[in-house]
Amino acid sequence: MSAILRILKFKGGLLSASPSGLRPSLGPLSILLVLLCSFAGWAQALAGDCQQFLLVVTPGWNQPKAQLQRYEKKAEKWLAVGAPMPAILGRAGLGWGLGDWTVSRQGPQKKEGDNRAPAGSYQITQLWLRQGIAGPPPGGFPVHRIQADTVAVDDPKSAYYNRILRSSQVRQPDWESWEKMDIPDYDRVLVVSHNLEQPTPGRGSCIFIHRWEGLDKPTSGCTALAEKDLIEVIGWLRPQSKPRLVQLPKEKAEEWLRRQTISGNP
């Protein structure tokens, strides 16, 4: 055995050598490193500029009912704000999406049309309101007004995939599927940055926080709240605080809170 092969064959068993070549060996150290790497892949810290976040927790991957808890950073410490709020997600539960964190391979993956809400951490980027709906107090998100022809494109084949736009202002619409925004459920809409920058076709689109139809009426992938709670959340959010939406099943949420030294009981 060459000196190089002897070096590779160490006690932890991460990698061993044989005359036929290198082969993996699942020793205790190997298993520990795999677990740590898979954990670090998704359980990352919030972005340094984030001063507010919404934590949405479901009992498990495939369950749509959830609780939302607000958090705010004060003197470098995360503090819970207000009481938890009931929320309803996609009818199929959660699936890892494309946002702030490295994509995890453990658990369902969010895809277009799968009726799952995206798990992970995402920026809250915009506020859209229908005509006649009052905006937030001073310091809140600037308002984008929904018009009669405002649509959200969810066709993966479209050049406008995962964009909100006015259809009358597009010379050659190329989409076959879209969401009409001028509807009562979208009186107030917060845009979530799932798959938003350089969208990957088919990984999901048009993820919002909006008013629910009821706690027993899941969405197609958005996060929905009672109207009074949605108004409270919109009034509390501050764009300069770079707010995030963090969505996780309970087991992952507990693990993540411990990792970030954030007190809470999801």
Worst-scoring range by mean pLDDT, 15-24, 70-79, 233-242? 15-24
Sign of CA dihedral 94, 100, 104, 110: positive
Average pLDDT over residues 32-40: 45
Look at residue 32 and tell me whether its pLDDT is greater than 70.
no
Alpha-carbon torsion (89, 210, 141, 180), positive or negative: positive
Question: What is the per-residue pLDDT across 103-128, written as a single tens digit (0 to 9) for each?
Answer: 777 899 999 999 999 999 999 999 99
What is the torsion angle, in degrees rounded to the nearest 10, for the CA atoms of residue 91, residue 187, residue 80 and residue 244?
Answer: 80
pLDDT tier at 266, thresholds 50, 70, 90: low
What's the predicted TM-score (pTM) here? 0.84
Summarize pLDDT for 62-81 with one digit per residue, the tens. 999 999 999 999 988 999 99
b/e code 245-255 from CB counts within 10 Å (16+ = b): bbbbbbebbee
Q: What is the mean pLDDT of residues 201-206?
A: 97
Token code pair at residue 59: 């009992």
Mean pLDDT, residues 129-147 taken together: 97
Can you give the pLDDT at residue 105? 79
Q: Residue 256: its pLDDT value, please?
A: 93
pLDDT tens per residue across span 140-170:
999 999 999 999 999 999 999 999 999 999 9
Side chain identity, residue 102: T
Average pLDDT over residues 247-261: 92
